[in-house]
Chain A
Amino acid sequence: MKRPQHSPWLYRFAIATALTTLVLLGIGGLVTSKGAGMAVPDWPTSYGYNMFWLPFSWWKGGIFYEHSHRLIAAFVGLLTSILAAWIWGRETTGRVRWVGWATILILVMMLGHRGSGNASGVGVDVPFHFKLLAGLMPILLIFSVVQCIRTRGALRWLAMAAVFAVIFQGILGGFRVALYKDQIGIAHAALAQLFFTLICSIVLLVGRWWNEANAEPLAKEPCLRHWFLAATVLIFAQLALGAAMRHQHAGLAIWDFPLAHGQLWPDTSPDAVLRYNQQREELVALNQITAGQVRLQMLHRIGALLVTIAVTVSAWLTLKRVGQGNPLRKTALAWLALIGIQVALGVSTVLMNKPADIATAHVVFGAFSLATGVALVLMTWRSEILSFTPDGSVLPSSDIAVAN
């Protein structure tokens, strides 16, 4: 079995999946920004209807955002399944190929099966097979990632990980509705960022550049790699903090910048928090601001500063140590630009009282920043990923496929 050649159509399909995922991220962000997460109170049905047959006349107000989110999520799930089946089919033969395809098909059918009822209410009637999938998917996801690492980036395991991740993500979204748990919403938002990054990584790995045998060798300087990795981890931590803030459903806990409630570090005494709640002008149903939320927002500001420093240093080091024409240079500069936009969006979110479109753009550019960081990490490790030997030499691609 030989390592498959670059397929332009697979590459295009992967890009389409990534773009659709981006739309999904955007509409998911809008659902939270508009406070519409519970506008469709049941799941997996929508107002008792099969999700795909909810009459269009019902798509009003918050229902429009939440229901569109569900439909686009289903579409992303379908695209991801096709992408994974495609990649799996290219890299395997015989019984292994059929086992992979059957796994994907069974999972898609299980998701499509509504079960004995719809769930709305704590512990109420969540169909058993969804509980089963919720328990099984994280295990399979970890297994796929381990397999991917063990086989030095065999793409089929990465694609399979994407299938397990998208299913787990869908079920988390459903459980958020059915169980009324904000904490599930935080996990749902964080996994959304990771899933988008995973799909973007697949786009990179099926691209022409990655698969060209004589692609320009990239810098292997440990210093540069470590900066990329550290900045990317910081970005993810920052995104998780942001998700935790958004899913408190309390709006802005601090609404001035660069100071916070007029101070470098805001007062979080009970009297001060009472005053913040009194002074703010909430136009939608928001939870009360707490001292914890004020501190969380301050942590997010500190995180933004650290990310900005880490990405700036990474870009500066890249320009300094990597030769002209190397794709790392352009990517690192694009990364720095993304972080600049992201900071501007964050500041605008605060100063403009969190408009839904700006807050959502902040989520989307956060996802872009994370995906770019992961792409840079992968690019600097390309030769190792493609190689089985400790010295980093690239083996013939056919050997890589056989060893898998």
Chain B
Amino acid sequence: MNMKMTNCFLMAASLVAATQITTAADVTGKITLKGTPPEEKVLPIDPLCGKLHTSSLKTRFYVTDGKGGLGDVFIHIKSGLAGAAPAPSATPAVLDQVGCEYTPYILGVQVNQKMKVLNSDPLLHNVHPTPTAEGNKEFNKAQLPKGPPIEAVWSQAEILLRFKCDVHPWMFAYVGVVEHPYFAVSSKDGSFAIKNVPAGMYVIEALHRKTGKPVTKEVTVGANGAVADFTIELQ
């Protein structure tokens, strides 16, 4: 009897899940920057890192397309998701160190999703994430030139978690860690797409690291997905 009930429950759950998958769609949109960002500053890199570049390295505070689009904004579903979050992707998120810069500058991962930090440079770096959420463990590991990847997993949501390199103090990047896979980082023209969002009503949040103030929007995701455009203002 119990076995039969369990099977029925599992079937019903699978049906619900299947329905959700069939109705899942993308949330797309564009981030627009209102205001003129200040000029990017030249980074104080050392001669060894300088040899890896033909021109000077600059800050990446405001990545824009010059037409109002704003890149490197972390967008995620803030609330509205029901039930347990899907298991994290088996594909690790990759943060690389190229030319004495972390690439990408802004990255998203799911809680408990594996992260791989690579060193593609012919130089030693140290990988030093500085989490602030309790449960996310700080570490500081050396990584030899083109050495094996360093793996990291975050058990708590944290927006944004900073990675830095103490050998080259101008190197830093930020990772948005959220409990579900529904997040995106805007590209240079400001466009983004959060993939396979189940149908429902959600609050979506967009956060630009430098402007600091998150903006939110309510969206209803149907069979055709939803559009959520954001405007971020410079103060």
Knowing A278-B212, A278-B234, A283-B59 are in contact, say whether A61-B168 is a contact too (CB < 8 A): yes
Q: Closest residue to A353 on the B side, CB-wise?
A: B41
* CB–CB A278/B211 < 8 A: yes
Which of B23-31, B107-115, B137-145, B188-196 is the contact stretch?
B137-145
Distance in Å: Cβ of A36 to nearest Cβ of chain B: 6
* CB–CB B48/A41 < 8 A: no
| Residue of A61, A63, A274 contacting most chain B CB atoms (<10 Å) | A61
Knowing A61-B167, A62-B167, A281-B38 are in contact, say whether A41-B235 is a contact too (CB < 8 A): no
Contacting A at CB under 8 A, from B128-179, are 128, 137-142, 162, 164-172
Knowing A60-B48, A180-B140, A277-B212 are in contact, say whether A284-B170 is a contact too (CB < 8 A): yes
B123 on the interface (CB 8 Å rule)?
Answer: yes
Distance in Å: Cβ of B193 to nearest Cβ of chain A: 27
Q: Return the contact of B141 from the options A34, A41, A122 (Cβ within 8 A).
A: A41
Contacting B at CB under 8 A, from A147-170, are none
A403 on the interface (CB 8 Å rule)?
Answer: no
Contacting B at CB under 8 A, from A20-60, are 34-39, 41, 47, 58, 60
Distance in Å: Cβ of A289 to nearest Cβ of chain B: 10
Count: A-B pairs, CB below 8 Å: 80
* CB–CB A281/B166 < 8 A: no
| Chain A residues within 8 Å of B48, by CB | 60-61
Number of interface residues of A (CB under 8 A): 27
* CB–CB A41/B169 < 8 A: no
| Complex CA distance for A180 and B141, rounded to whole angstroms | 13
Contacting A at CB under 8 A, from B1-54, are 38, 41, 43-44, 46, 48-49
A120 on the interface (CB 8 Å rule)?
Answer: yes
Q: Return the contact of A62 from the options B166, B172, B211, B235 (Cβ within 8 A).
A: B166
A320 on the interface (CB 8 Å rule)?
Answer: no
* CB–CB A60/B169 < 8 A: no
B187 on the interface (CB 8 Å rule)?
Answer: no
- Interface range, B side: 35 or more
| Chain B residues within 8 Å of A37, by CB | 166
Knowing A122-B137, A274-B235 are in contact, say whether A281-B170 is a contact too (CB < 8 A): no
* CB–CB A121/B139 < 8 A: yes
A106 on the interface (CB 8 Å rule)?
Answer: no
| Residue of B38, B48, B140, B212 contacting most chain A CB atoms (<10 Å) | B140
| Complex CA distance for A275 and B35, rounded to whole angstroms | 14
A264 on the interface (CB 8 Å rule)?
Answer: no
| Chain B residues within 8 Å of A36, by CB | 166-167, 169
* CB–CB B166/A38 < 8 A: yes
A109 on the interface (CB 8 Å rule)?
Answer: no
* CB–CB B169/A35 < 8 A: yes
* CB–CB A281/B169 < 8 A: no
| Complex CA distance for A62 and B140, rounded to whole angstroms | 14
B217 on the interface (CB 8 Å rule)?
Answer: no
* Binary flags per residue of A94-123, CB closer than 8 Å to B gives 1, else 0: 000000000000000000000000001110
A132 on the interface (CB 8 Å rule)?
Answer: no
| Chain B residues within 8 Å of A121, by CB | 139-140
Distance in Å: Cβ of B19 to nearest Cβ of chain A: 42
* CB–CB B213/A61 < 8 A: no
Distance in Å: Cβ of A282 to nearest Cβ of chain B: 8
Contacting B at CB under 8 A, from A260-281, are 274-275, 277-279, 281
Knowing A37-B166, A47-B142, A60-B167 are in contact, say whether A281-B41 is a contact too (CB < 8 A): yes
| Chain B residues within 8 Å of A277, by CB | 210, 212
Distance in Å: Cβ of B73 to nearest Cβ of chain A: 14
Q: Return the contact of B213 from the options A35, A38, A274 (Cβ within 8 A).
A: A274
Report 28 cross-chain contacts, Cβ distance below 8 Å, ordered by A residue.
A34-B169, A36-B166, A38-B126, A39-B126, A39-B166, A47-B142, A58-B124, A60-B46, A60-B124, A60-B167, A61-B46, A61-B49, A62-B167, A63-B124, A120-B139, A120-B140, A120-B141, A180-B140, A274-B212, A275-B235, A278-B210, A278-B212, A281-B38, A281-B41, A281-B61, A283-B44, A284-B170, A285-B164
Other than A120-B140, A283-B43, give 19 A-B pairs with Cβ distance below 8 A: A35-B169, A36-B169, A38-B128, A39-B166, A41-B126, A41-B128, A61-B167, A61-B168, A62-B166, A66-B166, A122-B138, A274-B213, A274-B235, A277-B210, A281-B38, A284-B44, A284-B169, A285-B164, A285-B169
By a beta-carbon cutoff of 8 Å, the part of chain B in contact with chain A is 38, 41, 43-44, 46, 48-49, 59, 61, 123-124, 126, 128, 137-142, 162, 164-172, 210-213, 234-235
Q: Which 5 A-B pairs have the closest CB atoms?
A: A35-B169, A285-B164, A285-B172, A41-B140, A39-B166
